[in-house]
């Protein structure tokens, strides 16, 4: 019997590819800066400071799965800043077996997204907006799917260090479903709002993100799970509760549902070229935790530093007792490798002419 699936596909789009985003709880959608990796979480964060940056991100995920992305940014005067990139998710090699459990070779499974982003800041304002267009391709053995999606974001970045952003992501259409007779799967549409604040005269940036504006109750109940309060005959027992018990349960329920939307993170800017990061994703903690053991599920840590022309970032995300991930990121500005031509003195130039 196969596991119960969900209503959406292309779920690899929800995984934070850049190390900085992963270290901050899964997103960096409300941070303004000259880092090309920020555009992955929100295209409106793409700006002129990212021009000619090349970013490489890689993760050896759970088991033998791997994912990563490559991105490059450039600027067109009076039009805006562009970025092109490709991301992949490789699920590894699988054994192909028939209904009689007879092995019939091996097959691979992988997902790809080819991205093109554009962003522009309104003249003489602190507002910027951007869009990322995604061409999606998924291939599992003999099955494949093709789709298109878009991320649309807007950001307000004030010189005081306060930044606010809003994002609508993965809006699009599946052109070619895996099975033409079962095309009910949808794209993983999401929405977020977030704020960040660089504390004045202190090396801290505080970050708060509210995830999934479209759905309030994100709790999950397995359709095959049995109720906890059952008797020997499998019938659910109903017990009367006091008003205080009802109020306490409702309060805990409200807090739990609200918490599943929240992502808390901070960056400690120790020096200009070195910083530490920590994030906490409550929803991940609740979904990955074990009922009989305390774990640090949902906690993410990371750091970033610069060596010569390279910015190196690392992130560690705790999923459960046996499943964690480490993401490595390297960014460099290709513009710094271009040697500027030495200008000749005016006298020499005249003599040469």
Q: What is the pLDDT of residues 48-88, one digit of tens each?
A: 999 999 999 999 887 788 999 999 999 998 899 999 999 99
Q: Does the structure show a pLDDT above 50 at 2?
A: yes
Number of H helices, E strands in the chain: 4, 14
Q: Are 179 and 145 in contact (CB under 8 A)?
A: no
Q: Comparing C-alpha atoms, which of 298, 300, 301 is closest to residue 288?
A: 298
Q: Comparing C-alpha atoms, which of 22, 23, 25, 20 is closest to residue 36?
A: 20
Q: What is the mean pLDDT of the chain?
A: 86
Element (H, E) at 114: strand 103-121
Which tens digit of pLDDT belongs to each residue from 146-161? Answer: 999 999 999 999 988 9
Between 330 and 62, where is the model more confident? Answer: 330
Query: CB-based burial of residue 310 (10 Å sphere; 0-12 exposed, 13-18 middle, 19+ buried)?
Result: exposed
pLDDT (0 to 100) of residue 353? 39
**Domains of the chain with CATH codes:** 18-217+262-352 (2.40.160.60)
pLDDT (0 to 100) of residue 129? 95
The pTM of this model reads 0.85
Q: Does the structure show a pLDDT above 80 at 230?
A: no
Q: Which of 87-101, 108-122, 276-290 has the highest mean pLDDT?
A: 108-122
pLDDT (0 to 100) of residue 244? 63
pLDDT (0 to 100) of residue 226? 54
Which tens digit of pLDDT belongs to each residue from 309-318? Answer: 999 999 998 8
pLDDT (0 to 100) of residue 341? 46
Q: Are 72 and 40 in contact (CB under 8 A)?
A: no
């Amino acid at each position: 019997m196969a596991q119960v699936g969900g209503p959406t596909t292309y779920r690899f789009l929800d995984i934070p590819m850049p190390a900085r985003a992963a270290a901050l709880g899964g997103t960096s959608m409300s941070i303004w800066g000259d880092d090309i990796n920020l555009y992955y979480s929100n295209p409106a964060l793409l700006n002129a400071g990212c021009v000619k940056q090349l970013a490489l991100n890689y993760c050896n995920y759970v088991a033998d799965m791997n994912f990563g992305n490559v991105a490059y940014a450039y600027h067109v005067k009076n039009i805006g800043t562009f970025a092109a990139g490709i991301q992949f998710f490789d699920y590894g090699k699988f054994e192909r077996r028939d209904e009689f459990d007879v092995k019939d070779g091996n097959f691979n499974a992988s997902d790809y997204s080819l991205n093109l982003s554009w962003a522009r800041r309104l003249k003489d304002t602190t507002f910027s907006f951007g869009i990322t267009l995604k061409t999606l391709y998924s291939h599992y053995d003999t099955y494949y799917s093709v789709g298109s999606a878009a991320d649309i974001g807007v950001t307000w970045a004030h010189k005081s260090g306060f930044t606010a952003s809003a994002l609508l992501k993965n809006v699009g259409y599946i052109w070619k479903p895996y099975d033409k007779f079962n095309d009910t799967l949808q794209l993983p549409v999401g929405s977020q709002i977030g704020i960040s604040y660089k504390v004045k005269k202190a090396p801290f940036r505080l970050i708060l993100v509210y995830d999934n504006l479209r759905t309030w109750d994100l709790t999950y109940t397995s359709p095959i799970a049995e109720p906890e309060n059952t008797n020997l005959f499998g019938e659910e027992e109903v017990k009367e509760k006091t008003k205080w018990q009802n109020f306490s349960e409702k309060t805990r329920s409200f807090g739990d549902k609200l918490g599943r939307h929240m992502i808390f993170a901070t960056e400690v800017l120790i020096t200009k070229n070195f910083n530490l990061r920590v994030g906490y994703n409550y929803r991940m903690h609740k979904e990955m935790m074990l009922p009989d053991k305390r774990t640090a599920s949902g906690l993410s840590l990371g750091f970033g530093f610069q060596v010569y022309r390279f910015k190196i970032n690392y992130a560690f995300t705790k999923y459960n007792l046996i499943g964690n991930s480490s993401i490595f990121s390297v960014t460099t500005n290709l513009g710094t490798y271009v040697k500027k031509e030495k200008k000749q003195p005016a006298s020499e130039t005249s003599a040469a002419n």
